[in-house]
Chain A
Amino acid sequence: MHKLAAFGLSRLRMRILLPYLIAGWSGFFVMAVELLGGRLLAPTFGSSIYVWGAIITIFMLALSLGYLAGGRYSMHAPNVRRLGALLLIAAATVVPILLFGEAMLDAVAIAVPDPRFGSLLASLALFGVPTFFSGMISPYAVRLLVHDPRNAGRHAGQLYFVSTFGSAAGTLLTSFYFVLILEVNQILISLLAISAVIGMTAVMQKGDEVQA
């Protein structure tokens, strides 16, 4: 915080910057986790096309429900601290993947012999919750940015841009470079650390609620 302040960022600037930063990072985070999801599932369920199908289905489903929930949540006293909290929750719910991922995958593979529904259930168990909370971020961030309905479309457009651009960056960097340098769990831990820093920065913001 102090460092950022030293760069001459006023409280107002941070109000605008943080929602964009969080949405962009969340986009990066979601796609990086999705790609690593393929890596995590392959030893147990293989790399058949339906394994990717299962992963993508769960991510899309969880995001869509997250959008719905995030929009609803933004109705009640929205502020950037809560947006930061969503990012922290999304990161925290990735921790079980690190701790119990392998045991969970083996258990699902034994319980569900069909690898299609096995990989679907495993994806749900591993990635459903963090992706749901990640999905809540974009609509919530839009609410923080829009103060005048005439600008709503422009802000939403800019936010989609930042978020999807982040997704593109997360996809490219993870699949081209990160996997060549780091282990899957090391990449996940790095992602969590960055989410923690950005999320805490937002949570520590002082100030009023956004006016309705």
Chain B
Amino acid sequence: MVLVALAAAAAVHADSPRLLHSERSLYREVLVYQTGDQRCMCFTRNCRVGRQSCMDMKHPDHFELNYTRMMLGALYLKPQPRSVLVIGLGGGTLPRALVRLLPDVSIDSVEIDPAVVRVAEKYFDFSPSERSRVAEQDGRVFVKRAIRERRRYDLIMLDAFDHEYIPEHLLTQEFLREVKSLLAPDGVLAANTFSSSRLYSHESVTYASVFGTFYNLKRENRVIFATNGTLPDLPTIATNSRIHEAKLRTFGIETETLLPLFSTRADWNAKARVLTDQYSPANLLNLE
């Protein structure tokens, strides 16, 4: 009996989160916890709600979080992007997977917080290379400069928001117009955002004002897919989903789970006010 109890206690101990790293960066606290084999980057002590990025140490390619799985659904719209921009690095899950998946891809990642880049490299097996570069910069500053340099991306992944704080200048009509002009013809924007709060309607009408109809995937997070061109219809999406199916399955991404999430239904208040550089109280709207 005592032995069983001790063993149970030991098992509980092994499964309680261990703090591997914490540092106060210029912007926030960056924490790394490990529970069993799962290692997560968090920006708050309450790691359960604020997980930015997670990795299974035994299967590092496996996608642990639903939203990152949903983000790779962008490949159903754009199966072979040659140039990708990732805004918001986190643990580097997205660029790491894209490099594995697409042999010819060239990726720029932008991360405002140098501490996040360091932690991604040290704890999440993220290694920048010639094909996968990192700029420590504000996302919007990078986008503006890239437009001036006449660069174009086939795929732009916007993953810069967390529950604690939204960079409000990355959620305005003007910013989305800039992103659209940075997309190659028929390029795709994938944005990881929110599915609840008053912000939902404001965000939706803002995206609609720039991109027209877009795909809206909802689970605990919300992922938006919009294009600079015509939005591929659902049969095309279903056909495209087979292209990387086998490889994506090794990442834990199942076509049968992801495909049914694709929806163009406008389930928001169309009269909500569009967010602009002049009017962007996103954090206040996200309080409720």
A residues near B, CB below 8 A? 39, 42-49, 109-110, 113, 115, 176, 179-180, 182-186
Binary contact readout B78-117 vs A (1 if CB under 8 angstroms, 0 otherwise):
0000000000000000000000000000000000100000
CA distance A176 to B283 in the complex (A): 10
For A182, what are the chain B residues with a Cβ–Cβ distance below 8 Å? 279
Contact of B284 among A42, A44, A113, A179 (CB under 8 A): A179
- Residues of chain B touching chain A, judged by Cβ–Cβ distance below 8 Å, are 26-27, 112, 137-141, 144-145, 148, 167-169, 172, 174-175, 276-281, 284-285
A-B contact pairs, 7 of them (CB 8 A): A39-B277, A44-B144, A47-B169, A49-B26, A179-B281, A180-B284, A185-B278
**CB atoms of A47 and B174 under 8 A apart:** no
Within the complex, the shortest CB–CB distance from B137 to chain A, in Å, comes to 7
Q: Contacts A48-B138, A115-B138 known; A43 to B174 CB distance under 8 Å?
A: yes
Beyond A42-B140, A42-B168, whether A48 also contacts B112 by CB under 8 A is: yes
- A interface majority secondary structure: helix
- Report the minimum CB–CB distance from A106 to chain B (whole Å): 9
Report the separation of the CA atoms of residues A179 and B138 in the bound assembly, to the nearest whole angstrom: 22
Q: A42-B169, A43-B169, A49-B26 are in contact. Are A180 and B138 (CB under 8 A)?
A: no
Which residues in B have their C-beta under 8 angstroms from that of A180?
A: 281, 284-285
Given A43-B172, A183-B276, A184-B279, 13 additional A-B pairs, CB 8 A: A42-B140, A42-B169, A43-B174, A43-B277, A45-B138, A45-B141, A46-B137, A49-B26, A180-B285, A182-B279, A183-B278, A184-B277, A184-B278
In contact, A46 and B280 (Cβ under 8 angstroms)? no
Other-chain contact of A46, B112, B278, B284 (Cβ < 8 Å): B112
Contact of B139 among A44, A46, A49 (CB under 8 A): A46
Q: In the complex, which residues of chain A have a beta carbon less than 8 angstroms from the beta carbon of B175?
A: 43
B178: shortest Cβ distance to chain A, in Å?
9
Q: How far is the CA of A39 from the CA of B140 in the complex (A)?
A: 13
CA distance A95 to B169 in the complex (A): 23
User: Could you tell me if B140 and A46 are in contact, using CB atoms closer than 8 angstroms?
Assistant: yes
- Output the least CB separation between A97 and chain B (Å): 13
Complex: chain B residue closest to A48, CB-CB: B138
| Alpha-carbon distance between A67 and B232 when the two chains are bound, in angstroms | 62
Contact B138 A109 (CB under 8 A): no
With both chains docked as a complex, state the minimum distance between the C-beta of A1 and any C-beta of chain B, in angstroms.
35
Residues of A within 8 A of B281 (CB): 179-180
Whether A39 touches B137, Cβ cut-off 8 Å, given contacts A46-B169, A49-B26, A109-B144, is no
